[in-house]
């Protein structure tokens, strides 16, 4: 990949330098940083300027390694499957886009006119890709240790509150699993209302399942509102299941006597003379 130092105006150089210093990263190669913040739409309109896609590929690998190491150290008891799920959530384009937005990265990305008109500067996937490219650029300019520190100090810090809400992502999948098992269907999510300006919206979402509507929940992001609505629906369904469950008969016998299904089977045998039915959880002998 050929980097072009002449592609940097003095004002652009000053802007990028101030931005990187604000992130705590002094870089020698501002031309690579500039490349990392160049979308393909801009390159298409300004040949032979190259876009950031190769740097995105590189940054994705650096980010993946640092995040994997972080989770490996932080959760020593977690299984490989659990660690993979945590990593997948954190390195998703949507989540990275939110982090990029918090860094004001969108203000620095060079876009083509068409992409600019269609709101590309606010698009999470575009922002997330640019952030990965920036990580790749820091790696090329300053080496792995500086790039890893940048990820740990700037990205993971901003992701910390999301990472402590691991269960948030599980509510929807848990509700879907329960609905399929109990009702052979899946829940629907309905946006009841939205409020606030475009840059600071609040979404109110409710769950609809088997003709039942569950209380709406609000959050700054639609997905978070859906997850919280799923949590409320789960709580209601689990509460209903508990209240409908038959009470276990009292155990009046001495310790070691059979209880539960065995006791009920014995009572049936004594009343009807029939052999007790085996438990549905155990194979018949």
**CA 85 – CA 166 distance, rounded (Å):** 10
**CA 253 – CA 196 distance, rounded (Å):** 64
Catalytic position from the list 51, 132, 168, 226 = 132
**Cα 16 to chain centroid, rounded:** 29
Pairing of strands 202-209, 188-195: antiparallel
**CA 47 – CA 103 distance, rounded (Å):** 28
**CA 70 – CA 60 distance, rounded (Å):** 15
Catalytic residue flag (residue 132): yes
**CA 87 – CA 71 distance, rounded (Å):** 8
**CA 262 – CA 265 distance, rounded (Å):** 5
Catalytic position from the list 31, 51, 56, 60 = 60
Catalytic residue flag (residue 50): no
The CB density around residue 171, as the number of other CB atoms within 10 Å, is: 19
Three-class secondary structure of residue 283 per DSSP? coil
40, 86, 90, 83: which is closest to 60 by C-alpha?
A: 90
- Give the dihedral of Cα atoms 274, 276, 280, 284; nearest 10 deg: -90
Instruction: Provide the annotated active-site residues.
Output: 60, 132
């Amino acid at each position: 990949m050929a980097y072009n130092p002449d592609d940097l105006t003095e004002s652009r150089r000053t802007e990028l330098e101030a931005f990187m210093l604000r992130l705590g990263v002094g870089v020698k190669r501002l031309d690579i940083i500039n490349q990392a913040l160049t979308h393909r739409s801009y390159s298409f309109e300004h040949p032979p300027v190259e876009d950031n896609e190769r740097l995105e590929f590189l940054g994705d690998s650096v980010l993946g390694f640092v995040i994997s190491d972080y989770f490996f150290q932080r959760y020593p008891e977690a299984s490989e499957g659990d660690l993979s799920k945590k990593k997948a959530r954190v390195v998703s384009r949507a989540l990275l886009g939110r982090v990029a937005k918090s860094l004001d990265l969108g203000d620095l990305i060079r876009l083509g006119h068409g992409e600019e008109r269609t709101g590309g500067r606010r698009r999470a996937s575009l922002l997330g890709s640019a952030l990965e490219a920036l990580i790749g650029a820091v790696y090329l300019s300053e080496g792995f240790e500086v790039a890893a520190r940048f990820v740990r100090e700037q990205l993971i810090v901003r992701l910390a509150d999301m990472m402590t809400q691991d269960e948030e992502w599980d509510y929807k999948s848990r509700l879907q699993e329960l609905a399929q098992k109990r009702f052979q269907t899946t829940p629907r999510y309905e946006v009841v209302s939205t409020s606030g300006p475009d840059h600071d919206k609040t979404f109110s979402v409710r769950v609809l399942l088997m003709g039942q509507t569950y209380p709406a929940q609000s959050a700054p992001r639609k997905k978070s509102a859906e997850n919280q609505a799923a949590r409320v629906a789960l709580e209601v369904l689990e509460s209903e299941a508990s209240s409908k469950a038959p009470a276990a008969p009292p155990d009046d016998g001495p310790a070691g006597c059979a209880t539960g299904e065995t006791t009920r089977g014995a009572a049936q045998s004594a009343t009807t003379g029939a052999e007790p039915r085996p438990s549905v959880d155990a194979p018949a002998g």
